[in-house]
């Protein structure tokens, strides 16, 4: 089996952003400070918080230019890919280089927020139009069970990082939460308190719709159909009816715009 060789993937149709072109600043080995039970990439190979250059800025720019030659419709550029994008020390340089080539396109990032307390990371992310942070848990026990973070990472530290970044950023901050039976039942009140404290411009409520591959699958970056060449495990999501109830409850408790993959 051959893996994709480009650090740029898509554009893929996103229920949130339209035609989203993915930028992967990690690429070679899946590296993340989380190893979430639902990750579409499968088991993370390197559970780490190591801050370094994983792939050169030049390679990303080259791959980006090759995609632009195809002339496909692109609504937004989204940094995500093979792990946690804020671990890439050259993220700011990549953002600036791509902005110079396509100044008309908004640039977003999907991040687990473990590194948002870093001044260097904050500096890079201030170049973006929107930052989407992951909050999947209402308490520490659920956080460790669902997100399976690198040693030393806690829900408290993640929430503190989000607040620190919020004070340094003028753009939009949204929250993305992945709800499953293990982190939703009986926990909406506590989750609402966290969301209200963060005060995002919107909350994206998602649920797993694909199985979890037990091996790393780079080709599943942004793939909403799921391509698997290995053993998989089914992840139970929440139903449309449950999603509607949670959506209404969170709206009532927080006063925030809550967006659901089902609605």
Alpha carbon distance 146, 112 (integer Å):
13
Count of domains forming the chain: 1
Contact between residue 124 and residue 92 where contact means Cβ atoms under 8 Å apart = yes
Per-residue pLDDT tens digits for 11-39: 988 878 899 999 999 998 999 999 999 98
Closest CA to 179 of 138, 149, 140: 138
- Residue 194, token pair as written in the block: 């966290």
Alpha carbon distance 72, 12 (integer Å):
11
Range of the domain at 107: 8-260
- Residue 6, token pair as written in the block: 């480009």
Where residue 22 sits, what CATH number does that domain have? 3.20.20.70
Residue 167, in any domain of the structure? yes
Residue 2, in any domain of the structure? no
Alpha carbon distance 259, 263 (integer Å):
7
Contact between residue 180 and residue 145 where contact means Cβ atoms under 8 Å apart = no
Residue 1, in any domain of the structure? no
Residue 3, in any domain of the structure? no
| 105: pLDDT strictly greater than 70 | yes
Percent of the chain with pLDDT over 70: 89
CB atoms under 10 Å from CB of 147, counted, come to 27
Residue 77, in any domain of the structure? yes
Per-residue pLDDT tens digits for 116-127: 999 999 999 999
The pTM of this model reads: 0.91
Confidence bin at 166 (pLDDT 50/70/90): very high
| Mean pLDDT score of the chain | 91
């Amino acid at each position: 089996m051959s893996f994709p060789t480009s650090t740029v993937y898509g554009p893929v149709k996103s229920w949130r952003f339209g035609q989203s072109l993915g930028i992967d600043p990690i690429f070679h080995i899946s590296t993340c400070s989380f190893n979430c039970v639902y990750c579409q990439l499968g088991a993370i190979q390197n559970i780490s918080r190591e801050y370094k250059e994983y792939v050169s800025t030049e390679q990303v720019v080259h791959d980006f230019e090759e995609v632009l030659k195809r002339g496909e419709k692109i609504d937004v550029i989204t940094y995500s890919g093979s792990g946690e994008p804020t671990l890439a020390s050259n993220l700011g340089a990549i953002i600036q280089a791509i902005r110079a080539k396509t100044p008309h396109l908004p640039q977003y990032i999907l991040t687990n927020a473990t590194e948002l307390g870093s001044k260097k990371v904050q500096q890079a992310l201030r170049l973006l139009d929107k930052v989407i942070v992951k909050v999947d848990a209402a308490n520490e026990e659920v956080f460790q069970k669902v997100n399976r973070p690198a040693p030393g990472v806690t829900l408290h530290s993640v929430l503190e990082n989000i607040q620190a970044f919020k004070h340094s950023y003028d753009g939009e901050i949204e929250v993305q939460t992945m709800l499953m039976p293990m982190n939703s039942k009986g926990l909406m009140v506590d989750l609402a308190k966290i969301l209200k404290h963060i005060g995002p411009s919107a909350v994206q409520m998602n649920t797993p719709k694909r199985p979890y591959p037990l091996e790393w699958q780079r080709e599943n970056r942004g793939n909403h159909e799921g391509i698997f060449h290995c053993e998989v495990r089914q992840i139970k999501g929440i139903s449309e009816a449950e999603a509607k109830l949670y959506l209404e409850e969170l709206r009532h408790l927080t006063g925030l715009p809550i967006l659901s993959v089902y609605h």
